[in-house]
């Protein structure tokens, strides 16, 4: 089992039936497709290119939000602006996304590493990520757990989490939503309801709290009880691998 497979399976378990999920390509899309196959048959998938309710065919996982294989048996094919408008109107339950940098308040950077005007690395930018983080009823971040990703403060706030904590998200005009959890290759992180700061809620088998802290660039809180996730079953892994037999995303 690779780290990407672990990440996709654990992430898929976070999704519920009878919900609408706006997912990015790669691991988030695989996780959403796996959830729909296994335990959430009435999950409605939304893809940024303007695709509502597609059926992702095993072995035909799209690598772009705008390619036609992403629209297989879709319920609707609206314009991309309309897809984001559904989130603005409150129709999207979960935004399922990744990020290059994440800070203690769940803010995401996909714009630039370093100074914005003279960055070390220029990243792809927001796409629809800011819309999702601002407008979905709940945001789940899916990412590898690396110290360079988990930083004290992101270099650029592309997509808002809890901003500076202590009610600053709501004070900015974002009256609902927010990041509920971060699923990583080491465990599951949540957020303190009052301060908005990230905390450890679960570890994967064989991973300790010390391992998570060692791979995070800021101090993490801890939930009153830290769980251990159930490892992926052979059935889950088989279904996941059928979605990506060429291992473009599973490593």
Structurally, how many domains does the chain consist of?
1
pLDDT at position 110 is 93
Q: Does 250 map to a domain? A: no
Which residue among 5, 48, 138, 236 is the active-site one? 48
Q: Is residue 90 part of a domain?
A: yes
**Residue 249 within a domain:** no
pLDDT computed for residue 107 by the predictor: 97
pLDDT digits over 143-190, tens only? 999 999 999 999 999 999 999 999 999 999 998 899 999 999 999 999
Q: Is residue 248 part of a domain?
A: no
Number of CB atoms found within 10 A of residue 207's CB: 18
Question: Per-residue pLDDT for 250 more than 90?
Answer: no
What pLDDT was estimated at residue 4? 92
Which of 123, 198, 145, 169 lies closest to 11 in space, CA to CA?
145
Look at residue 11 and tell me if it is in a domain. Answer: yes
Percentage of the chain with pLDDT > 70? 100
Q: Active-site residue 152, yes or no? A: no
pLDDT tens readout for residues 40-73: 999 999 988 889 998 888 887 887 777 788 888 8
Domain span at residue 173 reads: 3-243
Residue 15 pLDDT > 90: yes
Give the C-alpha distances (Å, rounded to integers) separating 200 from 38, 181, 208, 210, 224: 27, 10, 11, 11, 10
- 80 Cβ contact partners less than 8 Å away, ≥ 6 residues apart: 48, 49, 50, 128
Q: Is 26 left (phi over 0), alpha (psi -120 to 50) or beta?
A: left
Average pLDDT estimate for 195-203: 96
Q: Quick one: pLDDT at residue 173? A: 93
CATH of the domain at 158: 3.40.1080.10
Look at strands 44-47 and 51-52 and give their pairing: antiparallel
Q: What 8-state DSSP symbol labels residue 116?
A: S
Express each pLDDT in 103-115 by its tens digit.
Answer: 999 999 999 999 9
């Amino acid at each position: 089992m690779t780290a990407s497979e672990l990440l996709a399976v654990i992430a898929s378990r976070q999704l519920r039936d009878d919900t609408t999920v706006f997912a990015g390509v790669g691991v988030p899309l695989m996780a959403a497709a796996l959830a729909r196959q296994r335990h959430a048959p009435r999950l409605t998938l939304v893809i940024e290119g303007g695709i509502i309710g597609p059926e992702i065919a095993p072995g035909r996982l799209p690598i772009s939000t705008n390619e036609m294989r992403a629209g297989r048996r879709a319920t609707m094919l609206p314009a991309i602006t309309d897809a984001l408008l559904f989130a603005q109107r409150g129709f999207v339950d979960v935004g399922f996304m990744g990020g290059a940098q994440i800070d203690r308040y769940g803010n995401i950077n996909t714009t630039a590493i370093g100074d914005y005007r003279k960055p070390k690395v220029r990243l792809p930018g927001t796409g629809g990520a800011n819309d999702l983080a601002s407008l979905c009823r709940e945001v789940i971040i899916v990412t590898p757990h690396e110290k360079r990703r988990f930083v004290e403060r992101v270099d650029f706030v592309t997509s808002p989490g809890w901003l500076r904590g202590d009610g600053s998200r709501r004070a900015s005009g974002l009256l609902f939503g927010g990041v509920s959890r971060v699923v990583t290759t080491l465990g599951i992180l949540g957020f303190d309801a009052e301060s908005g700061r990230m905390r450890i809620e679960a570890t994967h088998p064989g991973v300790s709290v010390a391992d998570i802290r060692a791979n995070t660039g800021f101090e993490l809180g801890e939930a009153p009880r830290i769980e251990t996730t159930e490892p992926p079953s052979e059935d889950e892994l088989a279904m996941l691998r059928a979605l990506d037999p060429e291992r473009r995303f599973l490593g």
